[in-house]
Chains A and B, each alone.
Chain A
């Protein structure tokens, strides 16, 4: 064992260190093997490990469920993996306060199962919730369809504790939902891809579980018609919590009667939650709007069918398992431009001989595009062509070559100088997730 390895083993215990990760492909990051994998059992152990790595001049990549490690460029240097999943305790949960403090290695599913027992929820609908951890969701700022109704992690996070590049532990925010005590470090760390600090625990504000819920799934023969429905909903007084546009093969729970399994095409799935009478109002009005917009069929899903539909939809943007010749792109634009962006993407895919599946937050300006084809050149060209018109396209997952070479974080990213200064303040030696994010 080299000195760093033995030092780390003495901090966490040898059974929590893998000193030869080559036999564990799950821990590879963009095809690169780490020098070791360590699973600390507490915040203090994690901090101590990071300090040891820093002193030894070794980079650190934090890993939760590994569901989004496909994101980003390959690591720029050798690195160790700090596996966070042993940090899975609930630190504080007083249901009447509608707040919770959890360690970052807790999975979203475990968290929501706990909240469910008190009729509460944290509506962060990320892919693969059984594996995705709180820390990973925050580091990536991955969103979910219910961002429309409830916001994203950025809006629900009220406090955070991190381990910095040197192993220092620091915190910000608190356990209260209104707080202007000092700078909002929560906003800095959210979405920073572990490049400024490692999130070790997080405090969230919670919501009561709604009394009723339903899905109205509307099939269309064209995206124009589907977006006409989305617009009608937007202009009305309705308050759906999610409006998802899907294109491509429908997830099994959404295969509509009359189309059978493997239905495909354009679908708008609307999620309504709240008082029972309010949900029924949404069901009635959306169905009426859908008909006026030319829907070819409308289905109302409740209870298990409703839950299954959204579990499937939420998983669509997953980057944990990528097929051969597949890219997962995230396109971001002004909400009213989304229809046009997708109208550009669709024929572009056809032109390059690629299969395209879309999962889009129709009223929020975000779309996840899964493109697939045998010709890597075609994939790269598709991305380049799309990027030329829509500068905020990110490649979240792709082949190692593409992730290393393409402009995966978009074109003309603004404020790079300022972001470099921030990185320089927080991680001057570039030890945290080096080379993976924009700076």
Chain B
């Protein structure tokens, strides 16, 4: 079909300003935060309404083109990349908070609302949107829903899926559905629940009722420095065993400490092998006592320095160091590859030892920031992609880390999703039967694979083919 016809028809739907088809401009959409996998779309559209999105999807189906939803493009696994061309639907112009409903603890947003800005808008009411990924100043709530995003505060407050009451979604045939609105027990299957984390492969969310969370009355933060990760990990276990779930538990290793120390002038000693950031929140009563308990736990586990951050300014400084840690990596090397994996918490010390071994084996420094409370680790492989062979070594090091993580009872993605980057690791975790069940779910929504094809499932294993395996009779025949 004629490309010019396509563009003209798209202009009819979204208006002339809503279509990007200049080849140079299209190249800026050829990747998200995962620069290893690129794909240029045929055209990019920026709708402003659900009706427009539905029109575009129906048009795509007529032309036989895939549709790739895209929020801010901060994803790290190629989830928003048009690997097979097609139409990228950007939510950049659907960025309105439609309704703040404090009485019902919910807010209605378009998908392009930026996570941090949502919380800023809720702040005067005394509320926040609890999921707080490190990329929150850029990422969108639509992307958060697609990836079931996490963030440091998800330890206590839960991940994005626990904060979505219902979504409006455009399906593969252009139909628009609402999966819920905030009433808790809708009869039928939990469509909202399966849409969260589906990485844009079964529809495009055009609006969402999100749960809003009361800002706590009081917050206390402790930054503790340890000679090594083992001591810090033990402190983590004891804090939790004391009967309170902290609102955040973050760890940084020697290399990260060095980078953020330089950038934020935190004055942390060079002998620090691990820095632990512990945050507790709740009503004021008892928090100072708890802070003292936490401090004592740290000292008991060999801390070399413990700094309670009582004032907001002190807390912000400590958090800035953590939230901007990835940005500080530029002090250490020109390129980095951020690995996202999770292990059970008790396996953290051993896994970190193995990461150290892998670093030596591939002769690449690896810095570590992680959500120590939930075992979600982020080894940051530092390299220079201009140097010969380093790209390859970085990839191989990442693969080794993934294998270690799975051996230790972990999974292949804690927060960043599968997208393209991890699709071939799916078979390390899931059997064909497991994948077939997921494919079946996918097929119920999008049997023609219109949305974001070629993601999540292993390359070359189409959803249709996988789902069909389940129809092949019973599991045991006598």
Contacts and interface: CB of A to CB of B under 8 A. Distances in A.
A4 B242 CA distance: 54
A96 B445 CA distance: 39
B444 interface: yes
Q: Which of B171, B374, B443 lies at the interface centre, i.e. has the most chain A CB atoms within 10 A of its CB?
A: B374
A188 to B, nearest CB: 5
A334 B183 contact: yes
B437 interface: yes
A276 B436 CA distance: 49
Contacts of A332: 183-186
Contact of B179 (A48, A415, A426): A415
B190 interface: yes
A175 B284 CA distance: 34
Contacts of B150: 178
B373 to A, nearest CB: 8
Contacts of B161: 184, 187
Nearest to B469: A168
A48 B476 CA distance: 6
A47 B477 CA distance: 12
B412 A181 contact: yes
B414 A176 contact: yes
Contact of A183 (B187, B198, B282): B198
B266 interface: no
A122 to B, nearest CB: 13
A413 interface: yes
A425 B185 contact: no
Contact of A428 (B103, B417, B471): B471
Interface string A331-342: 011111000000
B474 A281 contact: no
Interface stretch (A23-31, A124-132, A206-214, A318-326): A206-214
A54 to B, nearest CB: 5
Interface in A223-247: 237-239
Contacts of B422: 181
Contacts of B437: 162, 164, 170, 172, 185, 197, 426
Interface in A191-215: 191-192, 196-197, 207-211
A425 B283 contact: no
A182 interface: yes
Contacts of A414: 177-179, 186, 188
Interface in B222-252: 237, 240-245
Interface string B405-432: 0000111111111100010001001110
B92 interface: no
Contacts of A181: 411-413, 418, 422, 426, 429-430
B470 interface: yes
Contacts of B438: 172, 182-183, 185
Given A155-B158, A155-B162, A364-B184, A99 B413 contact: no
Contacts of A350: none
B283 A415 contact: no
B200 interface: no
Q: Which 8 A-B pairs have the closest CB atoms?
A: A187-B193, A277-B286, A275-B286, A167-B475, A237-B217, A281-B285, A332-B185, A336-B103
8 contacts: A55-B478, A170-B431, A182-B434, A187-B196, A237-B216, A332-B185, A410-B187, A415-B191
Interface of A: 7, 47-48, 51-52, 54-55, 94, 96-99, 119, 141, 143, 147, 151, 154-155, 162, 164, 166-172, 174-188, 190-192, 196-197, 207-211, 237-239, 274-278, 280-282, 330, 332-336, 364-366, 392, 394, 409-410, 413-416, 418-419, 421-422, 424-426, 428, 437-439
Given A167-B474, A178-B375, A182-B418, 10 more contacts: A52-B478, A170-B436, A178-B415, A180-B415, A183-B438, A188-B193, A334-B183, A366-B184, A421-B445, A438-B188
